[in-house]
Amino acid sequence: MANYWRKRAYQEAATEPDGLAKRGLVYLMAQFFTIPATSSVDFALISNGKQIEFQFYDIISDLYAVKAELIESPSTITTFGGAIPARNLNRNYPDTTTASLTAASAVTGGTVIASEYVGTAGKAGGQIAQDKIHTLKDNTTYVMKFYNTGNQATNCHINLGWSEAEPDHYRIIDPVDPND
């Protein structure tokens, strides 16, 4: 019986962000960008048939506070430029993702499903790092919108780690003999 619980515990641990990354299932998008004064910068994430799960993210602003929103299914959106590259956190696996990330503009409508405020706390700039899990629908467009609350441009950076079509959380890896 002890072997059964050891294998179950191993499988549960393997579905946490670090376990998923070791199995080649977590991708990272890292992007530097400048937000003009009292304006915003948008990125579109299209799930392309797979369920996407944010595993972690961090947002840094060097001068002014930034309000970040995750918008589901905007009614209008214009994407432009090439795809923003994403890298597999396990370098033994390919960087091929199902999701596509691009710069976006002219975003209207949609539902804000999450928001963060990267404050200044009495000093220039700020940072926020989260292990919040957001599970996103398949075949859906999402927009990450970053608003600059200041009257001058601010430089930002985001790290976003996600998994695609995560395996069942409680699937046993090896067949288990109930007599063990």
pLDDT tens per residue across all 180 residues of the chain: 555 555 555 555 566 767 777 888 889 999 999 999 999 999 999 998 888 999 888 898 988 899 999 999 999 999 999 999 999 999 999 999 999 999 999 999 999 999 999 876 545 545 555 567 888 999 999 999 999 999 999 999 999 999 986 554 434 444 555 555
pLDDT at 104: 96
Put simply, whether the predicted model's pTM sits higher than 0.85 gets the answer no
Q: What is the pLDDT of residue 148?
A: 95
Residue pair 141/74 in contact by the 8 Å Cβ criterion: yes
Hey, which residues does 69 pair with through a beta bridge?
115, 145
List Cα–Cα distances, 111 to 20, 23, 102, 132, 174, in angstroms: 29, 33, 19, 19, 42
Which residues have C-beta within 8 Å of that of residue 95, sequence separation ≥ 6? 27, 85, 86, 87, 88
Q: Which pLDDT score is estimated for 79?
A: 94
pLDDT confidence of residue 164: 86
Contacts of 153 by beta carbon, 8 Å cutoff, 6+ apart: 34, 35, 36, 37, 63
Task: Give the residue among 75, 61, 74 at the shortest CA–CA distance from 146.
Answer: 61
